[in-house]
Structure 1
Amino acid sequence: MEIINIICLRQKSQRHRPKWVGKLPESLAEKWQLKYCPWVETAEGCWCLQTDRNGCFLPPWREKAKGLLEQAATNGAKIALSPMAADLPQDILPFATGRKLYPLFGAEGAATGLEAMGKQPEGASFVVADGGSWETEAVLAALPSWVNRLGILTDRQPFFLSWQERFLEERGLVVEVFSSVGYGVFREADAVLSCAKGKGAMAYALAEGAVFLDLVDNGTVTENIALRRPDVLAADGFFFGIPKEMEAGALTEARAYCEKEMFRAYFNALGAEKVAEAKADLGQLCPVGFLLGGKRRKIPKKQG
């Protein structure tokens, strides 16, 4: 298997082990588990560490997770999936979380939401919220040609002068760069593609019926927007595929890493330079649904 999926137990009581081990003192039972059965394969390519989420933070179990990843790499795995990817060793296999894929399809994701809410993407106004990292430039480099109105929210306006010149020269598109969510371009935006951390004030400045896509895992900020603004489609991830056979972005990213050479090159050297080739390599891939906090996000009803 080129893709390995690593999960853990919800509760330690779910461990796979002989009944007699359960009668041992906890310290001895833990030693037995670590030595003889630290993980089990629950399905093809899916392995379950025999501890709970808290256990994954402990040094003995981190060593077992490392051993599992090393075994998978030896057996031909190229990339890993895991709900606790950030807490596992990072230097053996890359982890697919969807976060490398989402910036390439921010505008298409917004278009899916806008159309479901009764708006035409070609006439919509877009804002890219800068977070000072590679994602912002990746989003800009991946913007499709049908985006006709664009602004950039940032506190480093001089940095984006070259992007303003590029869009004007190549598309005839005038890009406004500004620093406040109170600015009219932001308050009137139909879609916000956010690469920014924090900025909870955006919740109050978003236009009615806007699409807000968090492309950098802004956590509770995005969930608060969804809670405070039920009229806004706030999401932090995508589904891909077709509506009846959707798969979450992390799995799509893992497949693309294994199968698409140019996407893999972009994945391994993040930035704007390889975005066009990576996106072209993915063909007709397009978001068909939304995630928020790991769960499917419903689209608000059409406005008006």
Structure 2
Amino acid sequence: MGSKTRPGLNWLEPVALLLPSGIWLALLLVLPTLVIFELSLVPGIRPGDVVNPSGLDNYALVFQPVYLQVIARSLFFAFGTTIVCLVLGFPVAYWIGQMAPPKWRNLLLLGFVLPLWTSSLLRSYAWITILRPTGVLNTVLTTFGLPPLELLNQSSAVFIGMGYSFLPYMVLILYASVEKLDRRLLEASADLGANPIETFWKVTVPQTMPGIAAGSLLVFISTLGDFVDPELLGGASSMTVSRLIYNQFLGATQNWGFGSSLSMVLIFAVSIAIALLIKYGNPTSQK
């Protein structure tokens, strides 16, 4: 007869399984976040200063109008890029998951995510080559007698770079939901007289809502903290929270307390987004 685990020691097995990852999270996530929070409570702290938490002055500074504009611009880029990726990614995911031959689906997905094999920095520099005034895009436009476009160092260039960088993530997550779509419901909807638009909104969207929510949240969080695309493609007029945090830690400003408070605000916003996904992202949790 095999030995039985004592009832009072049943908790040891899950603890033993979770302990390695728990230590890893504590060292690389929890402790650094606590350090950032402590620094956020020290007004005007610079490298080498004594850490002496004394109040919420840095958080009051975050909500000044000039910095609220930066936060609003970051949210604008995040929301806009999420919508662009969802609008462009859903047809691609639907075609690969429902219309493409099954034997080609893995190859199509592989081809679509190939750009992720290169660094984000390299992709941004490639877009600079394309979008600059003497770049590839304007060369092609002038060849056909069309006026050149001023895209680089504009918000439109940031949207292009972010959309290109994060569209594959949206497609992969949506594909996982679209592939499981019950085609019998689509056929039943058509048999009952629903047109394709009604079928899409009343059958397809509800079934793929978990994938839509997960993909949108992933893209939103990633673009909210993106640094490379706004820095290289947006120019000085596209200041975002991530660039502002960089300036506080590594730029000329060197105000670690204010940079830490901005980081905590960003962490708090991401935590709210994750909590909303957990609560409302799964339709079965609302029943």
Report the TM-score when normalising by structure 1. Answer: 0.25
**RCO comparison, higher one (Cα < 8 Å, 6+):** 2
Which structure has the larger Rg over C-alpha atoms?
2
Structure-2-length-normalised TM-score? 0.26
Higher helix share: 2
Compare the two structures and name the one with the higher strand fraction. Answer: 1
